C-alpha cells in the first residue's frame, strides 16, 4: 500500500511568488493534516481536514496560506505571496479516523516538502 505522498519534494522560490504544495493521503483515510517545521523550531500543526471539510485550522499562520481538499482526496496548500519566514519543511499526515477523527489515533506522515523562500 502506498504511503502518504507529497509533491514537490523541494521548492525554491523568491519572496512574493506563489507556491502550491500537494499531499496525497493514504487511500481511504478521512483525516488529513498539515504541519510545518521552521528551521530550529518544533513541528507545528497547521490544519486538519476531515474528508473535504476543515475541522481545525487554528494553526494557519495568516491569510497568505490557503488549504483545500476538494472531493476529500488529495489536498493542496498554497502560499501566496510567500515570505522569507515561510521557509521550512511542510509535512502532510493522514489517519483513518471515524467521523471527526480520534485523538490518540496514529498519523502517517509523508516525506515532507522543503520550501526555501529567497
Shortest reach from residue 14's CB to other proteins, in Å: 28
State whether residue 70 is helix, strand or coil: helix
Residue 110 near other proteins by CB under 8 A:
yes
CA distance 75 to 67: 7
Cell of 61: 499562520
Residue 31 near other proteins by CB under 8 A:
yes
Q: Which of residues 47-76 bind other proteins (CB under 8 A)?
A: 48, 55-56, 59
CA distance 116 to 118: 6
Residue 44 near other proteins by CB under 8 A:
yes
CA distance 102 to 118: 39
Shortest reach from residue 6's CB to other proteins, in Å: 9
Closest CA to 25 of 49, 48, 3, 54: 3
DSSP-assigned letter for residue 87: -
Nearer to other proteins, 82 or 110 (CB): 110
Shortest reach from residue 39's CB to other proteins, in Å: 12
Chain residues that interact with other proteins, rule: CB under 8 A: 3-4, 31, 33, 35, 41-45, 48, 55-56, 59, 91, 95, 97, 100-112
Amino acid at each position: 500500500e502506498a504511503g502518504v505522498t507529497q509533491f514537490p519534494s523541494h521548492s525554491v522560490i523568491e519572496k512574493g511568488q506563489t507556491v502550491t504544495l500537494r499531499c496525497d493521503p493514504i487511500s481511504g483515510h478521512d483525516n488529513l493534516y498539515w504541519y510545518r517545521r521552521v528551521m530550529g523550531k518544533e513541528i507545528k500543526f497547521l490544519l486538519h481536514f476531515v474528508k473535504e471539510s476543515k475541522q481545525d485550522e487554528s494553526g494557519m499562520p495568516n491569510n497568505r496560506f490557503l488549504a483545500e481538499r476538494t472531493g476529500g482526496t488529495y489536498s493542496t496548500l498554497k502560499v501566496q505571496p510567500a515570505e522569507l519566514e515561510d521557509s521550512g519543511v511542510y509535512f502532510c499526515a493522514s489517519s483513518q479516523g471515524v467521523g471527526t477523527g480520534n485523538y490518540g489515533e496514529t498519523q502517517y506522515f509523508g516525506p515532507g516538502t522543503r520550501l526555501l523562500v529567497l
